[in-house]
Structure 1
């Protein structure tokens, strides 16, 4: 992530729903708060048509990866609508549907393992995962350690309570409680903004970091934070899932591609994944997945790249 970033994919809950939070540490439930979850629940129930295997792309998958017919995927499943656990305990979301379709193109099954977002890339480096797909924003720091295949573009959005009672903008957060998910680009953004506050003689931002995005969301809805920063699709989803309890301030900023992360030096695996993403864009499957999760077409890409500029 925005969650990135996860620039990381969000669900906001009343306090009584805390036990049902989908947390990076493995708690169950989708954290949507009951009746407010209707759009997410119906989307999760709608299947995406299977796609045919592409033998040419499948041949690019390294033998060590293809041998068991599956790909182990590291993912933080607290970031709806991109990756989360639904009411039935099933892992769903935009990244999940797209990942499954990539796997089908390559003749492989994607198996998703839940993890704290901040530790996923380290797990990839340690061969705990063969691939990571969890709303990772492409940036120069990440490209030093992994290859990334682009598949969507998202920005950072500021989420506040309905009506924006504190009249906040991204530039007026000095002295405020700001919730963010650990390991995301939003942490870096908030840190820079806080440093600017103190340089101008204003109080620092109280940056509240949490392992799970669902905990970030809860901070806002229970008024323990004045605002939150998260990827634009995640904040947009919060608005729909809470019947407008949350609103977005202004437009997304610092837009960057999401990327599937793969270990460097792994043969032609990156080329196989990039080719699969491009094929899904070209055959219309990608557009169907975007529509299913109500993701903005403004973030859609027409060309998937390996290690694009962030």
Structure 2
């Protein structure tokens, strides 16, 4: 991903939220599944697009989707402890509706999803993946949203993202933010300053909780995720600096599934045209990341 998750009625304190999400999602790569149909705004089926779905996928009748459900408000575990919900879930469920296919969501570790798509374990990876050249070597990616990186720290912190040398910073593993903070730490040591202590977490909810509890001094994540985390902390966390390095999120499908990738792009375009796309983004408060034209493997 770039990477970041929201929107259930959470407990009010970020610490409780983060712990709840983490406990629900960790240790289960495929046990938690949900169609999420109850939360998806209705999207009209498109027989023309459904007719373009590859035969093997059409015969299966469903899309098996790998997602890291610790990334509110994009994808996270609902209050029932098993259903995967969020902005990404609503939007891709609507894609499935356009294509006449059911969706089956399977919780997975973030860094296992793209390999799982490549092996055929998942039909699609939907997990706030930032499109980049390395990922497009392994899978086809279809753009559908744009996000940047945003920092947060305890309210009142004077820490600057541009001068975090010697600080303890939380980040989710295998994200573009993990690469970002490693590069920042190298700049510190190259300048003769103390390295950044980088605490990497499998779940974004754990990274957020580390800042809330004071274990780490700041965190960085995808802009929707950080903004949502701040909102849920009832004043405990505040944003640091500006959003930077905006880039598109992409759905991941197999490298040989270019035809299917194009059909997914057409389905997102249809959702933009009929207003479903905007309805879903508005619901989750992420309208700022809307894009106008989905694309398969856009320049990274």
TM-score if structure 1 supplies the norm length? 0.88
The structure-2 alpha-carbon separation of the partners of 1:16 and 1:88, relative to structure 1 and needing over 3 Å to count, comes to closer
> Which structure 2 residues correspond to residues 231-246 of structure 1 after superposition, within 5 A?
231-246=222-237
* Match in the other structure for 1:259: 250
| Alignment root-mean-square deviation, CA | 2.0
Alignment partners' CA distance in 1, 2:18 and 2:176? 28
- Larger mean Cα displacement after TM superposition, 216-225 or 15-24: 15-24
The structure-2 alpha-carbon separation of the partners of 1:211 and 1:17, relative to structure 1 and needing over 3 Å to count, comes to closer
- Contact kept? 2:129, 2:250, Cα under 8 Å: yes
Alignment partners' CA distance in 1, 2:229 and 2:17? 17
Given the alignment of the two structures, is residue 113 of structure 1 paired with residue 106 of structure 2, yes or no? Answer: yes
Alignment partners' CA distance in 1, 2:297 and 2:2? 17
Residue-pair matches, total: 287
Cα deviation, 1:142-201, whole Å, max 9, x if unaligned, reads 11111111111000001111122xx11211111111111111000100110000000000
The structure-2 alpha-carbon separation of the partners of 1:15 and 1:293, relative to structure 1 and needing over 3 Å to count, comes to closer
* Match in the other structure for 2:25: 23
Given the alignment of the two structures, is residue 276 of structure 1 paired with residue 267 of structure 2, yes or no? Answer: yes
Given the alignment of the two structures, is residue 73 of structure 1 paired with residue 65 of structure 2, yes or no? Answer: yes
User: Where do 5+ consecutive residues of structure 2 fail to align?
Assistant: 30-35
- Contact kept? 2:14, 2:232, Cα under 8 Å: no
Given the alignment of the two structures, is residue 304 of structure 1 paired with residue 294 of structure 2, yes or no? Answer: yes
Q: CA deviation at 1:243?
A: 1.6
Given the alignment of the two structures, is residue 191 of structure 1 paired with residue 182 of structure 2, yes or no? Answer: yes
Alignment partners' CA distance in 2, 1:257 and 1:110? 23
Which among 84, 94, 97 is matched to residue 90 of structure 2? 97
Q: CA deviation at 1:52?
A: 1.6
The structure-2 alpha-carbon separation of the partners of 1:263 and 1:20, relative to structure 1 and needing over 3 Å to count, comes to closer
- Contact kept? 2:25, 2:70, Cα under 8 Å: yes
Alignment partners' CA distance in 1, 2:15 and 2:188? 32
> Which structure 2 residues correspond to residues 91-240 of structure 1 after superposition, within 5 A?
91-164=84-157, 167-240=158-231
- Contact kept? 1:149, 1:274, Cα under 8 Å: yes
Q: CA deviation at 1:24?
A: 4.0
- Contact kept? 1:9, 1:135, Cα under 8 Å: no
Alignment partners' CA distance in 2, 1:20 and 1:138? 26
Q: CA deviation at 1:20?
A: 5.6
Alignment partners' CA distance in 1, 2:21 and 2:132? 33
- Contact kept? 2:149, 2:220, Cα under 8 Å: yes
Q: CA deviation at 1:298?
A: 2.6
Q: CA deviation at 1:97?
A: 0.1
Q: CA deviation at 1:126?
A: 1.0
TM-score if structure 2 supplies the norm length? 0.91
Alignment partners' CA distance in 2, 1:269 and 1:246? 41
Q: CA deviation at 1:26?
A: 3.3
Given the alignment of the two structures, is residue 2 of structure 1 paired with residue 29 of structure 2, yes or no? Answer: no
Which among 8, 27, 48 is matched to residue 56 of structure 1? 48
